[in-house]
Amino acid sequence: MKINFNAEKEFDIIAIGRACIDLNAVEYNRPMEETMTFSKYVGGSPANIAIGSSKLGLKAGFIGKISDDQHGRFIEKYMSDVGIDTSNFVVDKEGHKTGLAFTEIKSPEECSILMYRQDVADLYLAPSEVDEAYINKSKVLLVSGTALSKSPSREAILKAVNLAKKNDVKVIFELDYRPYSWESLEETAVYYSLVAEQADIVIGTRDEYDAMENSEIEGKNENTVNYLFKHSPELIVIKHGVEGSFAYTKSGEVFRGLAYKTNVLKTFGAGDSYASAFLCALITGKDIETALKYGSASASIVVSKHSSSEAMPTVEEIEQLIAKNETISIA
């Protein structure tokens, strides 16, 4: 099965939501208390996906709100420089700051993030700042779940999804669940269900689908896809870490993608690089099995490098890794 995208649309993908700053430990393999220097990168799931997509050759755009300061201007310039259309960035005029993520890499297995997300600019994107004509220009609208966590960003996303469906734009919902962004798990479940039911493609980890289902125990993929296929989705990707990922189609097919061996530096950025490469493959007409390989390969490359955005691979790098064919096999 292949997903059909409207070929007449100018943009391949428009992502909506947060674009932030990552401050990555320059001195790592130690607790952050002992890190004295930090490197600055653009971060945030939808920004990373737009950057990854652009580096893979897609025509990408972005809808988001950035702070009216040095960090906001850096974000816009960086994203513009990698080829993303930034005409729909809105500059916040009420003093809200850019979100920050300080990364701590104690070891490849022990990574954590110290987040600054209090009243950040990206969550102040308002529905009036979402332009129907702009969304209408794209094959795909990429929504990441964190943007649903607070008003008015929440309403901006709900409006954008409504406009996408009205204008034959595929809605891709990347669950991107960050518990600290939400009041409660049940609040998450309400909005994740609402958007997932309206999406064409849903991508997430098993844990993230559990959040959508308001479940504190691990759910079954079978139940998840049975539920969602009663609504709009035609393709559902459920990721299971090193065990690989599964893609389910409405017509009943199931595909499995395996993870590629790599030299893991940290775990950040894996999901975003997966999503951008998987979507790139689909949008450029590859089949689902190939798209799963693209996603896995791209994730493997990013976790071996220091940043999430700057490290996004090219098509050549992805295809080289796929060609080596060294997947991780789990008993």
Binding residues for a second copy (CB under 8 A)? 23, 26, 31-33, 35-40, 69-71, 73-74, 77, 97, 100, 102, 104, 114, 116, 118-119, 126-128, 151-152, 155, 158-159, 162, 183-184, 186-187, 189-191, 193-194
Contacts of 190 (CB under 8 A, 6+ apart): none
Residue 34 or 326 having the CB closest to a second copy: 34
Residue 190 or 330 having the CB closest to a second copy: 190
Helix axes 70-81, 45-55, angle to 10 degrees: 30
Residue 131 or 319 having the CB closest to a second copy: 131
Q: In whole angstroms, how close is the CB of 83 to a second copy at the nearest point? A: 19
Phi first, then psi: give them for residue 286, nearest 5 degrees: -75, 160
Q: How far apart are CA 129 and CA 114, in angstroms?
A: 30
- Exposure string over 174-184, b if 16+ CB within 10 A, otherwise e: bbbbbeebbee
Residue 171 or 259 having the CB closest to a second copy: 171
Q: In whole angstroms, how close is the CB of 99 to a second copy at the nearest point? A: 10
Residue 58 or 148 having the CB closest to a second copy: 148
Residue 40 or 240 having the CB closest to a second copy: 40
Cα 304 from chain centroid (whole Å): 18
Neighbours of 98 (CB within 10 A): 27
**What tokens were used for 196?**
């997932």
Give the H/E segment covering residue 66. strand 60-66
Q: In whole angstroms, how close is the CB of 274 to a second copy at the nearest point? A: 26
The end-to-end CA distance of the chain, in Å, is 28
Helix axes 288-302, 270-283, angle to 10 degrees: 150
Q: In whole angstroms, how close is the CB of 280 to a second copy at the nearest point? A: 27
